[in-house]
Amino acid sequence: MSKSIKHHLTDDLLMAYAAGNLPEAFDLMVATHLSLCDHCRARAESFEAVGGQVLEDQAQTAQMGSDALAATMALISQGAPTPKPAHKKCAVLPAPLQDYVGGDVNDIRWRPVGMGVKQAILPTTNEATARLLFIPAGAAVPDHSHRGIEMTMVLQGAFSDEVDHFARGDVEIADQDLEHMPVADISEDCICLAVTDAPLKFTKLMPRLFQPFLRI
């Protein structure tokens, strides 16, 4: 799978993920990409290893509190955590997304946003928004720019815009300098995971009018 992925995550994102400093929506994006991309997963593991060594060095110099033993015994008495049920095999949704959807692609609760495009907003914290997008084959997302960061990862099909062509596993990172109109390939419906930390800036009037209701 990784060999076909051309568009990867940045080192800054991977380091923030390893440090646990990303909003939940962006954390979900990174985890989903890592589940498909061996290249980025290896880089993330290297950052986690460095962070783990730093914590270990700090722990060696830290003094244990007088209640450390009691706290440890209390955790032991709680027993082992209940294991999560195994994920069903799904050709579209990687395991991190199945946790949020509560199943596979057939369990997604789509809501229409116009022109055949559908979305499903995922439950995350308020710092950023995560949504699944369904774009019919050959259809386009309205022309827009950005007030913040938008990350879009392809899960099924592919799309093209002013930057490049993006297929399964590819991530496009767009900021305030990019105005684009993603168009799904004619050969297959496109499903994407998109995360944003600010509302989009639509060029045309109609998308702007409906934007507050669609939470885009």
- Which of these, 32, 33, 25, lies nearest to 8 by C-alpha position? 33
Residue 56 pLDDT more than 60? no
- Structure tokens, 4: 């076909």
Provide the pLDDT for residue 213.
65
Count of beta carbons in the 10 Å neighbourhood of residue 6: 12
Provide the pLDDT for residue 50.
76
Q: pLDDT-derived band of residue 178, with 50, 70 and 90 as boundaries?
A: very high
Any residues with CB less than 8 A from the CB of 33 and at least 6 apart, and which?
A: 8, 9, 40, 153, 169, 171
Burial classification of residue 41, based on how many CB atoms lie within 10 Å of its CB (0-12 exposed, 13-18 middle, 19 or more buried) = middle
Encode pLDDT of 85-143 as tens digits.
555 667 899 999 999 999 999 999 999 988 899 999 999 999 999 999 999 999 999 89
Residue 55 pLDDT more than 50? no
Q: Percentage of the chain surpassing pLDDT 70?
A: 78
**What is the third-level CATH fold of 1-216?**
Jelly Rolls (2.60.120)
